[in-house]
Amino acid sequence: METVIVKKKATKRWKKGLLWTGAGLVFLVIAVLVAGNLFLNRSLPQITGEISLQHLSEPVTVIRDEKGVPHINAANEQDLYIAQGYIQAQDRLFQMDLSRRQASGTLSEVIGEASIENDKYFRTLGLRRAAEDSVQAYSSEGINVLGAFSLGVNLYIEELRQNGKWPVEFTILGYEPEGWTIVDSLTIGKYMAYDLGGHWENQAFRQYLIQSFDEEKAYDLFPEYPEDAPYIIGVEELDFTKAFANAVIPHEHNGSNNWVLSGEKTESGMPLLADDPHLGLATPSIWYQMHLEAPTVNVSGVIFAGVPGIILGHNENVAWGVTNTGPDVQDLYIEKRNPENPNQYLYNGEWEEAQVIPEPIKVKGQETLDYEVTITRHGPVISEFADVTESETVLSMQWTALEPSTELEAILNMNKAKNWEEFEEGLLDFHTPVQNFVVADTEGNIAFKANGKIPIRKQGNGLLPVPGWTDEYGWDGYVPFDELPRLVNPEEGFIATANNKVISDEYPYHISHHWAQPYRQLRIVEVLSDEEGFTAEDMIDLQMDIKNLHAAEFIPPFMEVLSQVEGTREKEALNILSEWDYFDEIDQAAPYIFNIWMRKIADVLFNEQVPEEMRDLFNGERAAVDQLLRRALAGNPGPWVEEAGGFEDVLTEALIMTLDQIEAAEGSNMSQWKWGNFHQVHFTHPLSSVSPLNYLFNSKGGQPVAGSQVTVQAAAFRDNGVVNHGASWRYVIDMEHSTEAYHIVGPGQSEHVKSKWYDDQFEDWINGNYHKTVMAEPSGETLLLKPVDVE
- List, as residue ranges, the binding site: 328, 331
How far is it, in rounded angstroms, from Cα 479 to Cα 427?
14
CA 147 to chain centre: 27
Question: b or e along 655-674 (b: 16 or more beta carbons within 10 Å of the residue's beta carbon)?
Answer: bbbbbebbeeebeeebeebb
Identify the DSSP state of 708: B
Identify the DSSP state of 579: T
Binding positions for Ca(2+) are 328, 331
Question: Taking the C-alpha atoms of 499, 501, 503 and 504 in order, what is their torsion angle to the nearest 10 degrees?
Answer: -160
How far is it, in rounded angstroms, from Cα 602 to Cα 624?
9
Residues 318, 217 contacting (CB under 8 angstroms): no
Residues 378, 126 contacting (CB under 8 angstroms): no
Q: How many CA atoms lie within 13 A of 538 on its CB side?
A: 18
Q: Which of 80, 58, 23 is nearest to 309 (CA)?
A: 80
How far is it, in rounded angstroms, from Cα 627 to Cα 621?
10
Element holding 102 (H helix, E strand): helix 77-104
Beta bridge mates, 506: none
How far is it, in rounded angstroms, from Cα 604 to Cα 641?
9
Q: Which of 135, 141, 139, 149 is nearest to 55 (CA)?
A: 149
Catalytic option among 43, 104, 108, 256? 256
How many CB atoms neighbour CB 63 within 10 A? 18
How many CB atoms neighbour CB 307 within 10 A? 26
Residues 607, 601 contacting (CB under 8 angstroms): no
CA distances 413 to 147, 192, 443, 534, 777, Å, are 17, 20, 18, 30, 24
Strand 680-681 with 722-727, pairing: parallel
Q: Which of 275, 224, 743 is nearest to 524 (CA)?
A: 275
How far is it, in rounded angstroms, from Cα 431 to Cα 452?
4
Helix (H, G, I), strand (E, B) or coil at 493: coil
The residue type of 602 is A
How far is it, in rounded angstroms, from Cα 521 to Cα 495?
11
Residues 378, 396 contacting (CB under 8 angstroms): yes
How far is it, in rounded angstroms, from Cα 161 to Cα 165?
8
- The answer, yes or no, to whether the previous bond of 686 is cis (omega within 30 of 0) is no
How far is it, in rounded angstroms, from Cα 17 to Cα 696?
33
Strand 70-73 with 287-294, pairing: parallel
Q: How many CA atoms lie within 13 A of 247 on its CB side?
A: 27
CA 330 to chain centre: 18
Question: b or e along 527-538 (b: 16 or more beta carbons within 10 Å of the residue's beta carbon)?
Answer: bbeeeeebebeb
Catalytic: 212?
no
C-beta pairs of 660-664 under 8 Å, 24+ apart in sequence: 661/596, 661/600, 662/592, 662/593, 662/596, 663/569
How far is it, in rounded angstroms, from Cα 665 to Cα 595?
15
Residues 463, 204 contacting (CB under 8 angstroms): no
Element holding 92 (H helix, E strand): helix 77-104
How far is it, in rounded angstroms, from Cα 499 to Cα 519?
10
How far is it, in rounded angstroms, from Cα 106 to Cα 112?
10
Catalytic residues: 256
